[in-house]
Chains A and B, each alone.
Chain A
Amino acid sequence: MINPIRAWRTQKQIKHLLGKSGKIITWTTIYVTTPDFKKQAPYPVVLVEYIDGERAYGPLVNYGDCDLSIGKEVFGVLRIVRKGNSDEIIEYGIKFKPKA
């Protein structure tokens, strides 16, 4: 179940990551996952570190195999993070895209 109020609070905290560039400091590809993410598996998740020291987790999108590496530069984009049945709110959030 996606909690709309929690998603609303989260949005305020992560909005500033849109378009912000950082480097991948570690990553993994999730194969065995929870019911919410089952449809997307397998999917890569990265941990990004910014110059100002901030760090953020997020899925990686629009990537080639060579983009999944420590040190790769990525930036935050807006994507659907979770979508349930038609009665639930759609959760939008940050995912990361490799810099060209």
Chain B
Amino acid sequence: MRTKVIGYYNSKFGELWNKSLADLIDEAIAGVLQSVRLARADIDAVFFGNMLGGILENSLFNSALIAQIMETTVPVYRLEAACASGGLAFQTATNYLKSNKNKTVLVLGAEKMTDVSVERATEALTAASAAEEQIAGLTFPGLYAMMAQVYLHQYRYDEEHLAYISVKNHYHGSLNEKAQFRKTITVDKVLASPYVAYPLKILSSSAISDGAAALILTNDPVRVKSSRSAVDVLSSEVATDCLAIKNRDSLTELYATQVAAEKAFCEAKIKRNRIDVAEVHDCFSIAEILAMEDIGFWKRGEGGKKAKEMSTQLGTNQRLVVNTSGGLKAAGHPVGATGVKQIGELFLQLTKQAKSRLVKNAHFALAHNVGGAGGMAVVSILAV
């Protein structure tokens, strides 16, 4: 039987002062089990995505922490791929279910980032970059800024085109009660905000956030039958690319996204124009623009123009709506949780539980999760 997603839970994303990483893990596990009325003992394996536990609080061996929380002895796999940790956890779970019949697994992503200063968090995030990039004083936003510079220069766009992505995602975020940022913003407001790394503005960049998200996946027909909701996983593919952006042939394309997307569509046996709703990796506005081109939704170089048209916003009667969760930008980006949240958002859309941000008649959905500045990409396609 094909793998299905049958349950989802996520915590609020934001500055959760009262929650530790362990608390967030606990909340997500309990929340998702309750939502599908399963017990801890019903879980055969856990797949956990987290990037900074080791760096920020010396907490790396969280597999055992999860076993402790769940009072279990089942396998717990910890996956790390920078910002694609959650997506990789999901993808690995689907692999596991391909080779293990009649199993039910828990996919979990969590991150605790707000206990430290902005500088310290910025430093921690540079762990997703190459040594020579760190030595040169480049930050993680700096890498995307370098790519943005080439893109804007090559296709003659400017900062304004990037701002439209933030505006759209903030509008979606205002409809998501779990999002970190609930206020809508304007292009002017984005352009008036300070720079993080030229030409990327603070309001074009995802924030530092805490949060956790969890999914239940199963290939057990009995389990599926007794579930209220179920969404098919048509494909989930991973691809990698050079860590250092200077080693790549192109600074305006993420090959990892292109390869993963091609593999995912091939495996799912559907065309790109069938996708109704997508969660695409917008750690910075430029990332969403590049992603739309790399996945193949938009033609190479037309991203800036398409962004300005706001064609992927809810309510525009266009087929493809992107980042109804608010994306990384408005929902927040607790690194390890994001990839899991993306699948979860699509699950809510396809099972008509997305409330005021529901995309009507959605049948096919795509999630795109990127690690670092493109060193890894996970593309997954879901359907009802």
Chain A positions within 8 Å of B, measured between CB atoms, are 10, 25-38, 40, 42-43, 45, 47, 55-59, 70, 81, 93
Contact = CB atoms under 8 A, between A and B. Distances in A.
A98 B179 CA distance: 45
B122 A33 contact: yes
A30 B123 CA distance: 13
A35 B120 contact: yes
B139 interface: yes
Interface residues of B, number: 33
A26 B251 contact: yes
B201 to A, nearest CB: 10
A32 B197 contact: yes
Contact of B141 (A32, A47, A55): A32
A36 B142 contact: no
B137 A29 contact: no
Interface in B47-79: none
Nearest to A10: B135
Contact of A28 (B126, B132, B142): B142
A73 B109 CA distance: 45
A30 B196 CA distance: 7
Given A31-B195, A36-B123, A70-B153, A55 B246 contact: yes
Contacts of A31: 194-198
A70 B136 CA distance: 18
Contacts, number: 86
B230 to A, nearest CB: 43
Nearest to A95: B136
Nearest to B247: A55
Contact of A33 (B133, B135, B137): B137
Interface in B280-310: none
10 contacts: A25-B251, A30-B137, A30-B141, A31-B194, A33-B119, A33-B122, A40-B137, A57-B246, A58-B136, A59-B137
A35 B251 contact: no
A97 to B, nearest CB: 15
Interface in B113-138: 117-120, 122-123, 126, 132-133, 135-138
Contact of B137 (A10, A43, A47): A43
A70 B135 contact: no
A47 B120 contact: no
Contact of A57 (B118, B138, B149, B196): B138
A34 B139 contact: yes
A92 to B, nearest CB: 12
Contacts of A47: 146, 245-246
A97 B245 CA distance: 22
B150 interface: yes
B198 A81 contact: no
B141 to A, nearest CB: 7
Given A31-B198, A33-B122, A70-B150, A56 B137 contact: no
Contact of B142 (A25, A35, A38, A45): A45
A34 B202 CA distance: 16
A25 B150 contact: yes
A93 B117 CA distance: 28
A98 to B, nearest CB: 17
